[in-house]
Amino acid sequence: MDRRVYDRMAEHDSTHWWYRARRDILADYLAREAKLPVSPHILEIGCGTGHNLPMLAAFGEVDAIEIDPAARAIASQRLGKPVGDAPLPALPGVPRGHYDLIAVLDVVEHIEDDVAALAAMRECLAPGGKILIAVPAHQWMWSAHDVVNHHHRRYSKKTLLGAIHKAGLRERGLTYFNSLLFPLAAAARVAGRLTGRDDSDDSPPAAPLNALFERIFGFERHLVGRVPMPIGVSILTLAEPS
């Protein structure tokens, strides 16, 4: 990702409505759907500044990987131990057959060979282990945001399922999320394309609007995995070896 993306993440990941609400949604989804063993070993790949690590640590012992040095330093402070730098798709040095949960949250779209990356993650799973995958949805929503984040693609349900199956995995439910705000997001992308406006600035909006968006998006913790979501800005699933 561009340096400015990491800098904004470090500045806003504790206050921005998207980060805060997504953590609540993912925590609720994991609690209901992951069925983790007692004291699980968890790995987050592409942890950025480590903003998800406290949430994941509520479920078990967490390790993390981040290839950007500055973001890795912040994440290491948050985790309280060194964060690794093993790159995808190969994950060299990451123990095989060890992790009960691997989290890749808006990461797989950054990897050119997504199938190889998912296959390497599969090898790192302990028996019964699962991969929590979140990716951006809808290639037609491609914008400057995807460019500065160095995305290779946005996914449809079909293309994500294809990558999962080719990697020797099967999905355990697959759902859209960030659905309630989808009309606003879609309108903003279309307007940006028509006007040539750069939408890559991820700074939070004014405080009242930030709080409102957090409440709306955060409400999806009651819906995701329970109610079919017909469309959304992102796709979420748990995958396990087939």
**What confidence category does residue 196 fall into, taking pLDDT thresholds of 50, 70 and 90?**
low
Domains for the chain: give ranges and CATH numbers. 3-241 (3.40.50.150)
Mean pLDDT value across the chain: 94
pTM over cut 0.85: yes
pLDDT value of position 208: 97
**What confidence category does residue 193 fall into, taking pLDDT thresholds of 50, 70 and 90?**
confident
pLDDT value of position 190: 82
Say whether pLDDT at 232 is over 90.
Answer: yes
Following DSSP, what letter does each residue of 82-133 receive, concatenated?
Answer: PPB-PPTTT-TTPPTT-EEEEEEES-GGG-S-HHHHHHHHHHTEEEEEEEEE
Say whether pLDDT at 194 is over 90.
Answer: no
pLDDT in tens, 116-165: 999 999 999 999 999 999 999 999 999 888 999 999 999 999 999 999 99
**What confidence category does residue 188 fall into, taking pLDDT thresholds of 50, 70 and 90?**
confident
Say whether pLDDT at 195 is over 80.
Answer: no
Lowest average pLDDT, out of 69-73, 198-202, 205-209, goes to: 198-202
At CB < 8 A and 24+ separation, what contacts does 135-138 make? 135/106, 135/108, 135/109, 135/160, 135/234, 135/235, 136/106, 136/109, 136/233, 136/234, 136/235, 137/176, 137/231, 137/232, 137/233, 137/234, 137/235, 138/233
